[in-house]
Structure 1
Amino acid sequence: MAGRVVSPCVGLCSTTVGDRVCRGCQRIDDEIRDWPGFDADERQRRMDELDALRVSVAGRHLSVVDGEALQAQLERHRIRFREDQPALSRAVELLRVGRGRIRDLSRYGLEPRVALDAATLHERIASELMSAAEARRLSDADLDPSRP
C-alpha cells in the first residue's frame, strides 16, 4: 500500500481572494479544488512538479550549503516540510516564514548567489514563483481547452 501524500498547502491560500494560482503553494485553483479526488500517483506527480518549480526558481538565487543546518532550523521554528522535499523547496518555505527575522542566511545553511537580505531574496523568489506558476497554469489550460 502506498504511503499517503500530503497536501502542498502551507496555509496561505490566495485563491480565496481571487488568484488563479495560490501564492502559498503555487497550485492552480482547479488543482486545489480537485486535490482530494486525485489518486496517490497523481498527487505525487503534482507534488514533484511543484518541488521542481521551486527548486528551479530558488536555485537561481541561492544554494543550500548545509542541508542539516537547514533542517535543524526548520524543525526549530516548526516549519512544516516533507521528508522527500528537496532542500531548495524547503528553503522557499523557510524564507516565506522567516524572511523578516533571518539576519544571517549561513546560519540556516543557505548561501545567496547575490548579497541580499532574506526579505528581498524572498520577494524575488516569490515573484518569480508566481510568474512560473502562472505559466504552468496557462500551459495546463492549453492542454485542456475546457479550462479558462
Structure 2
Amino acid sequence: MAANRIHTPCIGVCSTVFGDTVCRGCRRFSHEVVHWNGYTNEQKSIVWRRLDVLLCQVVDNYFLVTDAKRLAAELDFQNLRYQTQLSPQGWVPELLKAAGSKLISYEHFGLRALPPTDTMTPRQLYDQISAECHALSQAHYDRAYARPVTLVAELTEQAAREKGLI
C-alpha cells in the first residue's frame, strides 16, 4: 500500500444507496461517495477536513481530550479502529460505540467528560454525537448544494416567495 494513500472515511454503513444525500455512516455527501476513487489526494483531504471540523465541533460539547497519545494507545490496546486523518476528538465516537451500555472510565482513555455526559451511557452519547454530526453535515450539504444562492437579491426573493409575499 502506498504511504501517501488517503483512506476512505467509509465505515461500511452507507445510506446513500437508499437515497440519502448525506451518508449516515461516514457523513460524506452522496456525490463524494460515488466519486471518491476518482478524487485527487487534495480533494480527499478537503473532505476529511470538513468531516473533522464538524466532528470536533460536536465532540467538544461532550468531552475534552486531555491526552491524545493515551487515547490512541488505549484504542490500539483495545484493538479499536480509528481514523488517523481525524483529530483525537474524531476517535471518541469509536470508543463510545465499542463500550455500548457498559460504563467506562473516560479518564483512563485520556478524556474528561463534560456535564451533559453525566446521565448518558456511552451508546447514548454515541447516538447523540452521530445524530448531531449528521444534522450538521446535512445542513452543510443543504447550504452548499441543495439551495445554492449566488446573490443576496436571489435569497431575498426566494424567502419572499416561500412566505407567499410575492
Does the 8 A contact of 1:54 with 1:92 survive in 2? no
Q: For residues 27-66 of structure 1, what are the structure 2 equivalents within 5 Å? A: 27-66=28-67
3-state SS, counterpart of residue 71 of structure 2? helix
Query: 1:123–1:84: structure 2 CA closer, same or farther, 3 Å change rule?
Result: closer
Separation in 2 of the partners of 1:55 and 1:42? 20
Q: TM (normalized to structure 1)?
A: 0.84
Query: 1:62–1:39: structure 2 CA closer, same or farther, 3 Å change rule?
Result: same
Specify which structure has the bigger relative contact order, considering alpha-carbon pairs within 8 angstroms and separated by 6 or more residues. 1
Separation in 2 of the partners of 1:62 and 1:121? 10
Aligned pair count reads 145
Alpha-carbon offset, residue 23 of structure 1: 1.8
Alpha-carbon offset, residue 62 of structure 1: 1.1
Once the two structures are overlaid, the 10-residue window that deviates more, 127-136 or 109-118, is 109-118
Does the 8 A contact of 1:62 with 1:113 survive in 2? yes
Does the 8 A contact of 1:20 with 1:28 survive in 2? yes
Query: 1:56–1:120: structure 2 CA closer, same or farther, 3 Å change rule?
Result: same
Unaligned ranges ≥5, structure 2: 151-166
Separation in 1 of the partners of 2:125 and 2:133? 12
2:18 is the counterpart of 1:17 = yes
Q: Which residue of 1 aligns with 2:141?
A: 137
Amino acid at match of 1:76: F
Separation in 2 of the partners of 1:17 and 1:96? 23
Q: Percent of pairs identical after alignment?
A: 26
Separation in 1 of the partners of 2:46 and 2:76? 26
Q: TM (normalized to structure 2)?
A: 0.76
Does the 8 A contact of 1:58 with 1:88 survive in 2? yes
Separation in 2 of the partners of 1:15 and 1:31? 10
Alpha-carbon offset, residue 112 of structure 1: 1.8
2:126 is matched with which residue: 106, 122, 126? Answer: 122
CA-based RMSD of the aligned residues comes to 2.4
